[in-house]
Amino acid sequence: MDLKRLKHLVALADTRNFGRAAAQCHLSQPAFSRSVQAAEDEMGLKLFDRGTLEVTCTDAGAFVVERARKLLFDSRCLERDLSLYRERLIGDVAFGVGPYPAATLLPQLLTELRTRFAGVNTRVEVNNAKYLAEHLRAEELDFYVADVRNIQAAADFSVTCISRQSAGFYVRRGHPLAALRRLKVAALLPYGLASVRAPEEVRESFGRLMGLAEGVRLPLAVECDDLTLLKSVAMSTDTVLACPDAGARAEVASGQLVRLAVSGLAPIFSEMGVVSLKGRSHSPMAAFAVDFLARLGAQLTDAAAVRALAHR
């Protein structure tokens, strides 16, 4: 049923006069009458009694007009919501983040979304890359952000690198290693290392640096995908924390954590990327979030590069 024709039925029910209803709908009276007659023919029902003084709804007409009002109202609401959606004033966005971007990128993104788009509902999953990949494939997430070294190549994924964040080793204030100006990476091992889940090749390369046998991966005393929890453990024990510099910035500024100066070690970076399903277009809000993350990631990458040069 044509919505315009339904609008004609409602206008006639409201005005009870073909002439006034036609004028309200900006039609000639003959054209309006043909539209009403076509609706009755299509439904196989007589909708109006055409009296000499006024037009009234039949029982069938009252039934149809009541539902037509609801359909027209819902149509107007849809048009309004589509306009707001295009303007990113309403909508939903669901995305995932790994533990590192949750600490370094997520706070600013959520602040931006809540400040600029208060009508948008946001759902965030913080978890490891394997979990996020499964939920992306199930189309429960618009995209996710993680260390690309944890992302297995897949034909159905599109990966865009957004940030190269410098990383290091951190200990609590007063830790036995904190006062040393330079130390070998192997000196960290006796204290136990804490980290989020790391790629196998990364753990094997660090194992070699610490003098472990070929193919032996670096043992982790604490492996957890919650960076906040790992920082708490490092600040309360002698455990050495491995994490991006941006993720420990606040604790270093407050004096709770100290960055270790480890010699014989090339600069460490985590490679952040946005993972999406290939061929799937983003909603306006998801597109905004991805663009914001790319710009924020570029800023963090620039800052990391400057610090890396300064330490050469």
3-50, pLDDT tens digit by residue? 999 999 999 999 999 999 999 999 999 999 999 999 999 999 999 999
* Domain 92-310, CATH among 3.40.50.2300, 3.40.190.290, 3.50.50.60, 3.90.1570.10: 3.40.190.290
Position 312 confidence tier, pLDDT thresholds 50, 70, 90: very low
Note the Cα 180 to chain centre separation in Å: 42
Residue 106, pLDDT score: 93
Q: Which residues contact 230 (CB under 8 A, 6 or more apart)?
A: 194, 195, 196, 222, 224, 241, 243
Q: Which residues contact 241 (CB under 8 A, 6 or more apart)?
A: 169, 170, 171, 193, 194, 195, 230, 231, 233, 234, 248, 257
Location of each CATH 1.10.10.10 domain in the chain: 3-86
Mean pLDDT, the chain, integer: 88
Residue 81, pLDDT score: 67
What one-character-per-residue DSSP string does 263-275 give? ES-PPEEEEEEEE
Residues in the chain: 312
Tens-digit pLDDT profile for residues 47-99 = 999 987 899 999 999 999 999 999 998 888 788 767 767 777 677 889 999 98
Residue 307, pLDDT score: 55
| The model's pTM | 0.66
Location of each CATH 3.40.190.290 domain in the chain: 92-310
Q: Among residues 97, 74, 140, which one has the least CA distance to residue 275?
A: 97
Residue 262 main-chain phi, psi, to 5 deg = -100, 125
What one-character-per-residue DSSP string does 189-225 give? GGG-EEES---HHHHHHHHHHTTPPTTPPPP-SEE-S
Tens-digit pLDDT profile for residues 264-285 = 777 778 888 999 998 888 888 8
CATH of the domain spanning 3-86: 1.10.10.10
* Sequence letter at residue 275: V
Measure the CA–CA gap between 36 and 296, rounded to whole angstroms.
58
Tens-digit pLDDT profile for residues 113-139 = 999 888 889 999 999 888 999 999 998
